Each structure stands twice: as C-alpha cells, then as structure tokens.
Amino acid sequence: MSEAADRLAAVEANIAEAARRAQRPVKDVRLIAVSKTHDAAAIRPLIAAGQRDFGENRVQEAAAKWPGLRAETPGIALHLIGQLQSNKAEEAVALFDAIHSVDRASLVHALAKACAKAGRQPQLFVQVNIGDEEQKGGCAVAGLPALLAAAADAGLTIDGLMAIPPADVEPAPYFALLDELAERSGLPLRSMGMSGDYETAVMLGATHVRVGTALFGMRGQAQAKG
C-alpha cells in the first residue's frame, strides 16, 4: 500500500509543479488513474491512498470489477477512455461518470438516446485524431465543428476535447493544438497527457491527465497508452 501511496504522491507533486510553472491552479487538473487490465487487488491500494478518478478502456471490463469496488468506497468517478461501440452506449451511460471518446455522429445519436432513457448524462469529451493517424480513433480536426453541431442538435452537452498525440514525437505541439481547438469551440475541458508526458500537458492546458504506468507500474500490456 505504501508503494501505491508513494507513486500517487510523486505524480501529484509533478502535476502541482507543472501547474505552478504554468501559473495555473493545481485544483484545475484532475488525475485519472488508468486502471484498465488491473484487477481489484491492484486498484485498492490506490483507492486507500486517496485516488478517486479511474479510467477504463472497455465497458465490459469495467462492469465486471467496479460495482464491487464502488460499493466499498463512495465517491469513485469512472472515466471511459477507450473507444465506445454504439451498441454499448446504454451500458456506458449507466456505468461511467465521463466518456472521453465521442468521435462520430452515430455514437452521438446512440448516446443521446441512452441519456434520454437513463435520465442522466455523463460528462462528454469529443476525441480528436490530433495527429491524423489512420489507426487511431477520433474525429478529424476538420470534422470537429460538424460533430459538435450534431451533438448540440441531439441535445448532448460536450464539455471538452480529448486527444492522444502520435507516439515517439514531441507531444507539445499537439497539446497546444488541442488547447486551441477547445478554446475556439468554447469548451472548458482538455483531456490530454499520459505517463510519459502529463507534465507537458498540464503546462499546455490539460484539465484531465490519464496516467497508468506511473501509478500502477509496468505489467504486461498495462503500459500501453497509459
């Protein structure tokens, strides 16, 4: 448990220092612990250390482990950070407090229907394919205004943008671009930055950083995109 607490404290200290350097209030940055592929036994020490925001990639995996963990500890916020299939929209709306991967009109319509049925709407981020990479999800930069308009027409509130910069390149220009797109779109939130670059993201406007490896350590595929 002390190891988890030490890792959490180190990441929080780094976020605080980056926010200070950017002359931003540290309270404006929310740390999401990326718990995908980790079981309850690995997650509990971080909860015990005070972490309350967690990110999952798949609806099915989250549904299997989080109801029990949430019953043990109140105040947990779950974030869906992976791609969402339209046919899973109803389950996602019921389970998650935030969905970071809205990326196409068909998903907007599925989410609008699910939110109306559930009588609640999670916080929503549009994922932007900031590096124009074929293998990645997210709407094209040029398609962002149309997708935001579709969401508004469907009665959904979009609170921010999310992006994953291309691997193995300097991420700062991509973070700056996402910040600019969010500002231009009148959106207050920016979900950007992972274990290798979250401090840079904080300095460039991130309000949500998604950190896995730096909190959980390296384990199999858990290091991927964490």
Confidence of residue 222 (pLDDT cuts 50, 70, 90): very low
Report yes or no on 224 lying in a domain: no
Report yes or no on 226 lying in a domain: no
Residue 217 has a pLDDT of 85
Q: Structural domain of residue 156, as residue ranges?
A: 2-218
- Write out the DSSP string of 104-156: SHHHHHHHHHHHHHHT---EEEEEB-TT--TTS-SB-GGGHHHHHHHHHHTTP
Confidence of residue 225 (pLDDT cuts 50, 70, 90): very low
Contact 45, 1 (CB under 8 A): yes
Does position 73 have pLDDT exceeding 50, yes or no? Answer: yes
Q: How would you classify the pairing of strands 53-56 and 30-34? A: parallel
As a whole number, mean pLDDT of residues 4-12 equals: 97
Domain count, the chain: 1
The CA distance from 161 to 171, in Å, is: 16
Query: What CA–CA distances, in Å, run from 30 to 44, 49, 167, 217?
Result: 19, 16, 23, 20
Residue 135 has a pLDDT of 84
Report yes or no on 92 lying in a domain: yes
pLDDT digits (tens, 9 = 90+) for 91-105: 999 999 999 999 999
Residue 2 has a pLDDT of 86
DSSP H helices, the chain, are: 2-21, 40-48, 59-72, 89-95, 105-118, 144-153, 172-185, 198-203, 213-216
Report yes or no on 82 lying in a domain: yes
What's the CATH code of the domain at 114? 3.20.20.10
Does position 224 have pLDDT exceeding 50, yes or no? Answer: no
SS3 53: strand
Residue 1 has a pLDDT of 54
Q: Which residues make beta-bridge pairs with 33?
A: 54, 211
The CA distance from 35 to 213, in Å, is: 9
Contact 126, 141 (CB under 8 A): no
Report yes or no on 225 lying in a domain: no
Answer left, alpha or beta for residue 186, where phi above 0 means left and psi between -120 and 50 means alpha: left
The CA distance from 217 to 143, in Å, is: 36
Residue 218 has a pLDDT of 75
Residue 4 has a pLDDT of 95
As a whole number, mean pLDDT of residues 84-91 equals: 98
Confidence of residue 221 (pLDDT cuts 50, 70, 90): very low
Q: What sign for the dihedral angle of Cα 80, 85, 86, 87?
A: negative
| Residue found by looking up tokens 């997210």 in the block | 138
Report yes or no on 223 lying in a domain: no
Mean pLDDT of the chain: 95
First-to-last CA distance in the chain? 21
SS3 177: helix
Report yes or no on 16 lying in a domain: yes
As a whole number, mean pLDDT of residues 186-214 equals: 98
Higher pLDDT, residue 25 or 136: 25
